[in-house]
Structure 1
Amino acid sequence: MTPDYRNPRLSPGERTADLLPRLSLEEKVGLMFHTVIESGADGSLVETTGALSKSPTSTVVLDKRMNHFNVHGLGSPRDAARWANALQALAARTEHGIPVTISTDPRHAFTENAGASFAARGFSQWPEPLGLAALDDADILEHARIARAEYLAVGIRMALHPQVDLASDARWGRQFQTFGADAERTTRAMLTYLRGFQGDELGPTSVACVTKHFPGAGPQQGGEDAHFPYGREQAYRGGRFAEHLAPFAAAIAAGTAGMMPYYGMPVGLELDGEQVEEVGFAFNRRIVTRLLRESLGFDGIVVTDWELIHDNVAQGQVLPAKAWGVEHLSPAERMVKVLDAGCDQFGGEECTDLLLDLVRTGRVGEERIDRSAFRLLELKFRLGLFDDPFVDEDAAAELVGCAAHREAGFRVQAASVTVLTDDGLLPLASAPDRRVYVEGIAAEAARAWGTVVARPEDADVAVVRLPAPYDPRDDLLFESLFHQGSLNYRPGLLARLASLARVTRLIVDANLERPAILTPLVEIADTLVGTCGVSDEALVAALSGRVAPRGRLPFEIPRSMTAVEDSPEDVPNGTVDPLFPAGHRLAVSAR
């Protein structure tokens, strides 16, 4: 007789209620771990320890009974689909055949950072979320729907995004994945994004979203990131906790499938007259259970950010466990505190034996395991994974990164260009007799403007693309990938740009993954634009007028580093006398 959990006519809740009592403790515990996995050559399963994965694939699936994985490296769309099918076939060999939920950080833009995002490669390529935030909601919806279709095609059923933290401190190194600094704009963008990925309700054609990082990761003390020990604190000197919380409350009302608390620990935070414990948010019962679960009514999945229990060692570097405020606790004690806080899943961990021991020794009750296991199983049923977890490899090869999707991404990239100043140079339409000098742009793309020359002295105009300024760091794992520290351009670079401007007209494109200090560039450049995830070809299309640049700043541009340092970390767009206010855009007329 077919068990009820295999009956698609029953509700997800009914099917879950039938399956859960059938599971062994090992199977239930396996549900509560969500770690990194990597695909092999030609879509094969990796049976060695990977660059970041800790165990062979068969070990985590068959021995540890795990079935939630955050995929990092992927091959071509066909290989990605083949790998997903092989992983599901492996999971089908387990006692109850619990299918795998494959998740991913964003992988449709430009930034390659194994701790946060991946460049598009075989997927269609779009602006970073900051670039999307510079545009209309219709552009965000188009992106989300196409990204959803491409994820579904290769078997990815969970998005570890959107990131709706308010970019309230200009120095913070993770704001390129946010929708900017304004709570209302962030909320509108997030609601559109969720609708594009999940649909009107979660179902077999949805990609479940994990909204992050509850209750808002933007107020990092000194603008440092909580991935690292020196950035563990979050500060609320401006008293704006509620403003940072607002987009998450809206996400709950809109039906987000999951929530992810950030690493940061609040310092000096009071809620309803009560001092909040100064421990990382995922360890914090006042935040996860009392605020998220009870006050806001969220009953979806809460997955911690990665590696709260153990140190992460990879590629010859270490990153200490992000156990901020509870560094003195043992791994077992940290695990108990995460469970007591109300989280369902341990991100980046695969220490199932540790949790099994806690249950068998009575330190964690099996009923506590059942509460989280129920939520995790029910989502799999809602997504239709128990009914058909496999994908069509031919369809994936045809759909993912297809010409129509690439063209849509290109058009949105170009549209996201934000014109800040212009002294009559735009639009820079094609002119065969124009001589153009470029830096940071492929000559092939620049030829659309005219003839590319080798010396600025020979040029009618120079166009320079500048990377974002930051202080290079490379002591801890992933640290070199996070652009942190000063927002000032180096004096030598500014002097060289000034020398260019003395011999020719100058257009400068500033990468705005963070709000760089553009004050000296306004004095140097004839035209200044900002971008966040735009290819050379898309920039040329925007500046030439082939695609109208209509981006608006998703945050203000501070006038100086002093203004940034003097502004409370939790106050969005709060610097004194900003150079450009949030929302600034200079309209360019077609010629």
Structure 2
Amino acid sequence: MSPKTRTRRAATALSALAVGAVAITATGGASGPQRPADILQDMTLEEKVGQLFVTYAYGRTADTAHPKNQEEFGVDTPAQVVQKYHLGGIIHFTWTDSLHDPVQIAELSNGLQEAAVDSGAGVPLLISTDQEQGQVTRIGEPATQFPGNMALGAGRSPEDAERAAAITGQELRAMGLNLDFAPSGDVNVNPSNPVIGVRSFSSDPALAAQLTAAQVRGYEDSAGPGETVSGSVKHFPGHGDTNQDSHTSLPVIEHDRQQWEQLDAPPFREAIGAGTDAVMSAHIVVPKLDDSGEPSTLSPNVLTGMLRDELGFQGVIITDSLQMEGVRQEHPDAEIPVLALKAGADLLLMPKDLQTAIDGVIGAVRSGELSEQRIDESVQRVLALKAARGVLDDPFVDVSRVDQVVGSQEHRDAAQAITDRTTTLLRNDGVLPLQPPARMFVTGAGDEATAALAERIGARGPQTSALDTGLQPTPEQIAQAVEQAQQHDVTVVLTNAAWNEDNAAQRDLVRALQETGKPVVAVAVRDPYDAAHVDVPAWIATYSDKPVAMESLAKVLFGETTPVGKLPVPVPDPNRPGTDAYPFGHGLGW
């Protein structure tokens, strides 16, 4: 079925919904006769509850039969999952076989929207993913790639942050996605944070707030309603000061009220001021702010008291994944979505067992634990968001335009220029810039990163070879790297979270390469904290291992550009607690 045919079919099915829909604001008001309340009145309780859930389905087309759908949802295809549960939204991952190439994604989006429009209440879907860029990137090339938040923090440019989000959002919308779970507004004040790190713009709350608000504007205000996506700032009330991962445990953050106001709240305040459509909750406990003992996702004090009442947020609150251990430790799966709704959440993301979760909510309404009015409040917010983004008006995309938008030369050029302004030179004892040597060796963590850098160095003349030694190189791999380094004039070694004790062998690799007597340039392609752990004459931070960052790195290595990035976090000295090896704002040039 062609996009035009789908659009005509959708227009017929949505005639009762879309009259005046584009005039509906994010707060639920309308200048025309149709409001979310008008849509709501024709929905059954089951259809209303379905609108509050966002989950995944398996398959590269809406009509692809996949055994995992039958196993988890009792139906065969993604379209049947949407129709069976009256879903409000779908989230895509690579592991659900949903993300292959831009045209396929667009066709899948249209098929899913057709399923939603042709069933139940006929309300189109929120189609989402986590396209934060950098470390968390669900859709790879040919979609335009950026180095991620901490790199943008090093660049210090709100204009660049906004442009990066605008390009990301417009490409997502061209593929039929209309909700991006980004940006991360977490302020990464804990260098040992295993789950945020480079996903954060900075350890400085003012800089993080400035860039968070810029990205909200980029996602939501850079084009018309049918060309932008909803941003979803995460993870409220702030996941930046923990050394635990809420995917596998329940972190406790001991910030008191003053610390929260100064450190964690500013990015969320600024994002709300910029008009963010959605905020995602964190599965963390904040005992000095909330004495309930519940993770924030299930806490009325946090979601209603702090986010709604104190910060004045009136948009959609979405939970982080309800499959994560941080929210599942104290309650059965049927109760978790009920508690989240009672706390103030509107959208319930990825419950462990969708049928159990839906039955739990419906049962709570029928027993009186939840009022249907409470359900209606959240459904109206969800419908208002869909209307504000033009999803109710026209949920379909023109597949023939996808390749004109996604990964366009204009977007790729902008991404490269932005990335060029983020590379940070931390140390340079007369090593850089390089005069192109005859032979260069690239080694360290990351098959794709080492290959991409070697390719870009080779394009500049030197004979170049690459060896990926992984996150935890073995003694045999280190010996192999040393042998190859001795046969080359210069070695560039990439480190990835070498500060982590689990990856300490990366430090052994760097030291062994240094002992060859050949010039060595070390590059932290994730957290810049690595630079304090090994004494090397030249250290660079790229905050990303994406090819776009490796091109920027090559330019710096050979002096084609002057590094202008400044550290957005301090790099602590592991041998002198309380002191920094490289302070916030540090960055060399030439």
> What is the CA–CA distance in structure 1 between the aligned matches of 2:418 and 2:321, rounded to whole Å?
32
The structure in which a higher percent of residues are helix is 2
Q: Is the 8 A contact 2:334 2:359 kept in 1?
A: no
Amino acid at match of 2:66: T
> What is the CA–CA distance in structure 2 between the aligned matches of 1:63 and 1:36, rounded to whole Å?
13
Amino acid at match of 2:443: E
Of 504, 509, 529 in structure 2, the residue corresponding to residue 516 of structure 1 is: 529
Structure 2 SS opposite 1:138: helix
For these two proteins, the number of residue pairs brought into alignment is 528
The alignment-based identity, stated in percent, is 26
Of 56, 80, 83 in structure 2, the residue corresponding to residue 36 of structure 1 is: 56
1:185-584 matched pairs, under 5 angstroms = 185-199=207-221, 203-220=225-242, 223-229=243-249, 231-236=250-255, 240-243=259-262, 244-267=264-287, 269-270=288-289, 276-307=291-322, 312=323, 320=325, 322-324=327-329, 327=330, 329-349=331-351, 350=354, 351-429=357-435, 431=436, 434-440=438-444, 441-442=450-451, 443-447=454-458, 448=460, 450-452=462-464, 455-469=484-498, 492-500=508-516, 503-511=517-525, 513-521=526-534, 523=535, 525-533=536-544, 534-535=546-547, 536-560=550-574, 563=577, 576-584=578-586
> What is the CA–CA distance in structure 2 between the aligned matches of 1:237 and 1:15, rounded to whole Å?
41
In structure 1, what is the equivalent of residue 65 of structure 2?
47
Moved more, 276-285 or 158-167: 276-285
Q: Is the 8 A contact 2:62 2:78 kept in 1?
A: no
CA apart distance, 1:436: 2.2
Whether 1:172 and 2:178 are equivalent positions in the alignment is no
In structure 2, what is the equivalent of residue 6 of structure 1?
18
Q: Is the 8 A contact 1:166 1:178 kept in 2?
A: yes
CA apart distance, 1:27: 1.0
Amino acid at match of 2:327: K
Deviations 1:335-378 (A, max 9, x none): 33222211112111233222112212322211111010110111
Deviations 1:167-202 (A, max 9, x none): 011011222211121101001111211111100798
CA apart distance, 1:544: 1.6
Structure 1 SS opposite 2:522: strand
CA apart distance, 1:206: 2.4
* Structure 2: gaps spanning 5 or more residues: 1-11, 445-449, 466-482
Structure 1 SS opposite 2:313: coil
> What is the CA–CA distance in structure 2 between the aligned matches of 1:542 and 1:39, rounded to whole Å?
42
The structure with higher relative contact order (CA 8 Å, sep 6+) is 1
Structure 1 SS opposite 2:395: coil
Gap change, CA 1:148 and 1:520, over 3 Å in 2: closer
Amino acid at match of 1:499: E
Gap change, CA 1:227 and 1:158, over 3 Å in 2: same
In structure 1, what is the equivalent of residue 472 of structure 2?
none
Q: Is the 8 A contact 1:518 1:559 kept in 2?
A: no
> What is the CA–CA distance in structure 2 between the aligned matches of 1:507 and 1:167, rounded to whole Å?
27
Q: Is the 8 A contact 2:129 2:138 kept in 1?
A: no
CA apart distance, 1:438: 2.6
Q: Is the 8 A contact 1:144 1:196 kept in 2?
A: yes
> What is the CA–CA distance in structure 2 between the aligned matches of 1:452 and 1:332, rounded to whole Å?
57
In structure 2, what is the equivalent of residue 153 of structure 1?
174
Gap change, CA 1:242 and 1:70, over 3 Å in 2: same
In structure 2, what is the equivalent of residue 101 of structure 1?
126
In structure 2, what is the equivalent of residue 83 of structure 1?
108
* Structure 1: gaps spanning 5 or more residues: 313-318, 472-484, 564-575
Q: Is the 8 A contact 1:169 1:218 kept in 2?
A: yes
Amino acid at match of 2:108: W
Q: Is the 8 A contact 2:59 2:78 kept in 1?
A: no
Q: Is the 8 A contact 1:124 1:400 kept in 2?
A: yes
In structure 2, what is the equivalent of residue 567 of structure 1?
none
Gap change, CA 1:290 and 1:144, over 3 Å in 2: same
CA apart distance, 1:489: 5.8
CA apart distance, 1:291: 1.2
Deviations 1:267-317 (A, max 9, x none): 3x04xxxx532210011111111111112111110111101xxxx4xxxxx
Structure 1 SS opposite 2:91: strand
Q: TM-score, length-normalised on structure 1?
A: 0.83
Please, what is the CA RMSD of the aligned residues? 2.7
